[in-house]
Structure 1
Amino acid sequence: MTPLKNLPSHGRSRTPRLVFLGLMAAAALAPAAAMAQGQKVFRIGVTQIVSHAALDADEKGFEVGLATSGFKEGVNVIYIRRNAEGDLAAADTIAREFVSEKVDLIHAIATPTTQAVMRTGTRIPVVFSSVTDPVLAEIVPSDSAAGQKTGTHVTGVSDLWPVRLQFETYARAVPQAKTWGTLYNPKESNSLSHIRAMREAANNLGLTLVEATVDNSEEVGQAAAWLAGRVQAITLTSDNTTAAKLDAIARVCDQHKIALFAGDVDSVVRGAVMAYGLDYFLVGYSAGRKAALVLKGIRPGDVPWGPVEVFSLVINTRAARAQGVTIPPELMARADKVLN
């Protein structure tokens, strides 16, 4: 639970509009200057399934990871950023676009977008991040375990959550809660993998788990309201569809005094009581460092893939008050960060 030290900050300050435009103009000219000096400019296609706090932090971390390795936007890197906005068909279109454009490397953020890239059959180097189970998703070979080389054109970083430990921690926060709810999109294979682990954890803890499924982000608020009349607490999976609408879930939980728990620390500031999980900036940062090795000439298949195994406990006391939760002193003492 000890955070990594000496990593670059992922906060962004606001820049006045005129200064921002000037920086953009300078960045546009920089690749030409680099080429004039004989320095190769790499084009990186970034495909993201949807915008939410965790995946946005992933993207920032990736770019910082590359920059600290000598690959900086506007100097020797051009990013082509695309967001599928939760549309799986759009993810396929974006993947084909990058193949057609013959980018030098593809950064695929989350399971659905990485699978879309794999479906193209491309041999362009691919670095994935925020993929829960790369083996189950058929992104890496079935005989490739975490920490091993894939031998293919793919490497990356998994965001597998410690589901059992999370559930145990959250249950200590609300020991009176015996019926728990969760919601997810069954079209996301990462969510299916996670829900299986969640069912097992609930069963081992003697808890009842009530599941609500959604087909798209517009159904999330309604599904959360449906759960509100049936459960005493809600815990989320690594589901991108629901994470994109976490604010809507938090509003329902505030209204009905139901404790809400997340698995990524970026979601705590948005209304979850706590998360014992990953900092997605570090997920992206690790992927960026792997991408730097690829751009330096190492085959992706020779760069081991694996998870980021740094977890933190973050608590939001404002959300706890809003949802009628009294955080036990022992959890407050364990917290790596407390938000108010």
Structure 2
Amino acid sequence: MLCGARSDASSLCGREGGDHQRDAAGSGPGGHAMKMNGTGMRIGVAVLALGASLLAIPSLLEAQRAAGISRVGWLEVCGPGPRRPHFDIFRARLAEHGYVEGKNLVIEQRFADCRYDRMPGLATDLVQVPVDVLFTMGTRAARIVAGTVKTTPLVVYSCDPFEHVTRLARPGGNLTGVTCMTTELSPKRLELLKEAVPKASRVMFLHDPEAAPNALKLTQEAAPRLGIRLQVAPVGAAEELLPELTMIAKERPDALFVYPDVVLSSHPRPRQLADFAIKAHLPTMHAFRFFVDAGGLMSYGATQSEIYTMAAEQVAKILNGARPSELPLRQATRFELVINNRTAKALGLTIPPSLLLRADEVIE
């Protein structure tokens, strides 16, 4: 990857360049510097090129603005699926604010192929484009990008508070964004699952431990009063999902609680989880309705349309001149309970009528 190569060259230059200079100063007759070899020359050129590109960013941004063109970075951990409703919502809302892709807006998209270790390089690449503002989604991704990008305005979609947000009213620094309140709603989600499956006493909590430590803590605290013993299945990368599902099938819990992170939420994993759960005869609880659309049993959480609409509004404000540090982190206000009764029937489960009546939507 080009940006990754830049990053590696930069760190390599720091080591080899410094060592070479020390060797040169103490070598040769009369202390004269030795002639730099070809590798040293290439490294030196790489350092100069990187430094020049960073110095050029402000002037490039000014040139873009003078031409009436805004650039927004869209950085995703996983690749785009066959359908991209959230991106479409984001783009449409920007258009409503006067920023139209193909006219006065360019959206620079980057995807890390579900590899978190690629995120810093991709974020750096977007900064060097340069973009006027960078948007990323997912708590773990937001943490990585916020630790990498220090000056370019950031808008993040995060469901679990992290250290780069000092407070909701004024996040501070170069960062603002939206939060879906998924962590705070985790105990309520467990209550709804217990109501749907009253006999459930062992529930498996599937999550990325680096993305949702607070969610796990809150859910563990709520479990005993509901008569539930919570077991934990950590999935930190896409390749870890299948082994964990195999373990879950052997453990045979009464239900599966899926805390969403970017990897578990990305195509095709919602459908994989639904197919597995039906085959294993496991009722599932999710945070977002697209899991239920894919065949999961039920979900309770923020509507994704509102989240991406608010994110686009934050981006538009920054493009209009607002400082991220002065924009409050916006919180979701619309939540929905969705139940897939078709899946319930496939599981041989009868959802209590009182719960069906409270649902915002029942899929038959």
Paired position in structure 2 for 1:273: 297
Asked if residue 174 in structure 1 is aligned to residue 197 in structure 2, the reply is yes
Paired position in structure 2 for 1:95: 123
Paired position in structure 2 for 1:237: 259
Residue-pair matches, total: 296
Q: Which has the higher contact order (CA 8 A, sep 6+)?
A: 1
State the TM-score, normalizing by the size of structure 1: 0.81
Secondary structure of residue in 2 paired with 1:327:
coil
Tell me if the contact between 1:167 and 1:202 (Cα under 8 Å) persists in the aligned partners.
Answer: yes
Tell me the amino acid that sits aligned with residue 163 of structure 2: E
Q: Distance in 2 between matches of 1:255 and 1:106?
A: 41
* 1:287 alignment partner, one of 311, 317, 326: 311
Distance change (3 Å), C-alpha of 1:178 and 1:51: farther
Secondary structure of residue in 2 paired with 1:160:
coil
Answer with 1 or 2: which has the greater Rg. 2
Q: Distance in 1 between matches of 2:346 and 2:129?
A: 49
* 1:254 alignment partner, one of 269, 275, 278: 278
Distance change (3 Å), C-alpha of 1:246 and 1:225: farther
How far the C-alpha of 1:242 sits from its partner, in A, is 2.7
Asked if residue 67 in structure 1 is aligned to residue 112 in structure 2, the reply is no
Q: Distance in 2 between matches of 1:224 and 1:60?
A: 32
Paired position in structure 1 for 2:145: 117
Paired position in structure 1 for 2:173: 152
Secondary structure of residue in 2 paired with 1:165:
helix
Q: Percent identity?
A: 27
How far the C-alpha of 1:118 sits from its partner, in A, is 1.8
Paired position in structure 2 for 1:85: 113
How far the C-alpha of 1:201 sits from its partner, in A, is 1.8
Gaps in structure 2 of 5+ consecutive residues: 1-62
Q: Distance in 2 between matches of 1:65 and 1:56?
A: 14
Which of the two has greater helix per residue? 2
1:252-271 alpha-carbon deviations (Å, 9 max, x no partner): 21112110111111211112
Tell me if the contact between 1:47 and 1:83 (Cα under 8 Å) persists in the aligned partners.
Answer: yes
Distance change (3 Å), C-alpha of 1:271 and 1:252: same
1:154-205 alpha-carbon deviations (Å, 9 max, x no partner): 110012221121111111000011111122222x3x3222211221121232
Gaps in structure 1 of 5+ consecutive residues: 1-34
Asked if residue 165 in structure 1 is aligned to residue 205 in structure 2, the reply is no
How far the C-alpha of 1:298 sits from its partner, in A, is 1.2
Q: Distance in 1 between matches of 2:130 and 2:79?
A: 25
Tell me if the contact between 1:58 and 1:282 (Cα under 8 Å) persists in the aligned partners.
Answer: no
Tell me if the contact between 1:194 and 1:238 (Cα under 8 Å) persists in the aligned partners.
Answer: no
RMSD (Å), alpha carbons: 2.3
How far the C-alpha of 1:119 sits from its partner, in A, is 2.2
Tell me the amino acid that sits aligned with residue 78 of structure 1: V
